[in-house]
Structure 1
């Protein structure tokens, strides 16, 4: 069926359901086969993952309409295998699991394959691992049917924990038998997740490139971005800048800048200085006139220099960034960087037998008496809508304590502080060993 014909059938179906009295609608619905309605649902779902998010409401409408049609249908309608397949695909496409139970319970003619029905029953109830082996075998048996891509996708989902490599084979089959559909989008995205977790870097890079080329505007693309950032940061020794550009090249400048900023932040926290600098430079070059973009690139780029000989310049660059251009989490990261920088610049305490111990104690006491006034407001999700609140009163706390509070709320900041302190402890131990 061509795209135009599917569009026409979709509009006709909406008109039948939405117009006229209840009796007329019931009669009209009886003339539409479930497999015809399913084609309209598939068209809508494919449209959504290809970037038309306005079709999401129609998807919910179609799921409800098909559910009503399946439940009210005469059992004779399922003598047509296409309608049986439609009911099974509906269940695997976000439909009501109870409807499949209802149809199977009323199946007196044996139209439904009980093996598939039982497998889907367990899968939809969260017990998919129990049927991983049997569903995989069923999926291979149905490879030349309309059910093939859907069964392969489900088989991949339930096989991940037992055999990730086998799950990738099912996903490959799903996407190759349903190109340009929501099935391929889901299979690519889940393949990337499996490959990243299993550290199969070459395959992960291929999946990421294909996803960016085909489904960059899917509503699920944010999951892809998270996985891609993780892949780059964890495997930058294998993945080079040209590999990153090959995937990000399908994006517009705004999306590319956002991904580079996320790479720079995660890399800075992980202590990967080369990657941090590269990603920050790329984000800065793509910033254009975007407000705050340069500020974030400067922040993340300077974080990489905190533990180097250029710590003074790095800290000055960080402190020059206007606070209003940073989110609460990035402000906490800046305060944590300040605390780490102070530790880098702090002279190690001499051994107890040193004659300068008294003077060192005095100096430390004087330094400990100086506290920076910081805003101790609780960190909030930057995506949350602003809520009216009384202005917080500044409390005199040390930079280290403030960074500790931030770290308790933000795991990323906590990781940055802990990593910095572990390096500083090692430096202190080395210096103490070399002291006379």
Structure 2
């Protein structure tokens, strides 16, 4: 029932936007204030991130219509600050950056604040970091106005690398003054990125929880999924299985399964065996009858995680049993790499031992005979038993140690562990090489 009400409210908002846009077509555009057109654009964009992707076509139409209106408008309309704000919001909402450039050149009356227009143009040109000081100075003046939340996003992006805590404060302000909008969606998504990049695990979990409750139907939700998977895999011990399941519980079954599969894959490659096994099991449980591909992928990622376990033989058999036809080229390469690694792990490691040395032959002195060895060397050799000589020789080989019969197995052997580490490295390298392909 709540879902129907939400869809109904979205439909009404879209209908209002469509009505306003339709009226715009029937009117002389020279008489239509840009700030009214921007309100329609904001309605549509907010509708899109709430889940109605059919509104994306209307968004493109409105951007085009507003662009034409701003370019052909008499400069006198910008005496109204609302129209100035509308032009800036348009530029920061996916509009044509050249339009803002044109408007500032025509602004002989000084309606546009050059500090803001320069900052926005630099941001749109990919030079946002040059604005940090200017934005920090002017943001307090404008933060409560129409452009406040948009300016907060630009300000946050300008200091993202240099001062992540300040960036999060800007994102938090944007969310506070524009709840339920495309601005809040963007601020939350980018906040997760900042938190993940700077080891702010608790804040990352909090932002992820908010996003999963509010914007799972956004067209940008796939970016959120990637960010959350990375956060969870890198910090699984701190976040815990319960928090992961709670955040993903807001998703429908297909979305949950997809995220768990991504998590299982990254965990297996990263050597996070416990998380890989958990995520693969969850993906399996969420796969219904007839859904062959998700189950196959879960088997693959679970098998990858099991390579370094004690039962390598069983893990290798599971991997071999997975049909190549059910895998993408990228996952087939991972399967093949894992099979090779498993074979290497199962191959008995070559143990290097120091050659056994026999004790030096000491001639027993017979009456009237002369020893072939000086007395000093004879006495030294006599002090060295065969075992002692062998141990001393072995210690001259870097990293080697005398081996007893009880220490000739691979258990606890660095050489055995080295095979596992090499396997992980191979999987990781292959995954990076194939990163551009579909999963």
TM-score by length of 2: 0.77
* Cα distance in 1 between the residues matched to 2:73 and 2:274: 63
**Secondary structure of the equivalent of 1:410?**
helix
* Cα distance in 1 between the residues matched to 2:23 and 2:235: 53
Partner residue, 2:308:
307
Q: Any idea what the Cα deviations from partners look like across 1:93-135, whole Å, max 9, x if unmatched?
A: 1111121121122222221112111211222222211111211
Partner residue, 1:434:
none
Q: Any idea what the Cα deviations from partners look like across 1:37-76, whole Å, max 9, x if unmatched?
A: 0011111111111111121121111111111111111122
1:410-421 equivalences under 5 Å are 410-411=431-432
Q: Any idea what the Cα deviations from partners look like across 1:19-52, whole Å, max 9, x if unmatched?
A: xxxxxx6x62122110000011111111111111
* Cα distance in 1 between the residues matched to 2:115 and 2:428: 51
Partner residue, 1:341:
342
Contact in 1 for aligned 2:17/2:44 (Cα 8 Å): no
Moved more, 7-16 or 113-122: 7-16
1:175 and 2:172 correspond: no
4+ runs of 1 displaced by more than 4 Å?
2-6, 352-355, 403-409
Unmatched 5+ residue regions in structure 1? 18-24, 356-402, 415-436
1:148-167 equivalences under 5 Å are 148-167=148-167
Partner residue, 1:11:
19
1:359-398 equivalences under 5 Å are none
Partner residue, 1:70:
70
Unmatched 5+ residue regions in structure 2? 1-8, 357-423
Contact in 1 for aligned 2:17/2:43 (Cα 8 Å): no
Contact in 2 for aligned 1:269/1:413 (Cα 8 Å): no
Residues 157 and 407 of structure 1, relative CA distance in 2, 3 Å threshold: closer
* Cα distance in 2 between the residues matched to 1:12 and 1:298: 52
* Cα distance in 2 between the residues matched to 1:224 and 1:12: 32
Partner residue, 2:217:
217
Q: CA deviation at 1:15?
A: 5.4
**Secondary structure of the equivalent of 1:307?**
coil
Q: CA deviation at 1:137?
A: 2.3
Moved more, 86-95 or 96-105: 96-105
1:199 and 2:220 correspond: no
Contact in 1 for aligned 2:338/2:427 (Cα 8 Å): no
**Secondary structure of the equivalent of 1:250?**
coil
**Structure 1 vs Structure 2 CA RMSD:** 2.3
Contact in 1 for aligned 2:14/2:43 (Cα 8 Å): yes
**Secondary structure of the equivalent of 1:239?**
helix
* Cα distance in 2 between the residues matched to 1:5 and 1:200: 37
* Cα distance in 1 between the residues matched to 2:125 and 2:211: 29
Count of residues in correspondence between the two structures: 358
Contact in 1 for aligned 2:14/2:47 (Cα 8 Å): no
Q: CA deviation at 1:142?
A: 1.0
Contact in 2 for aligned 1:229/1:263 (Cα 8 Å): yes
* Cα distance in 2 between the residues matched to 1:405 and 1:203: 33
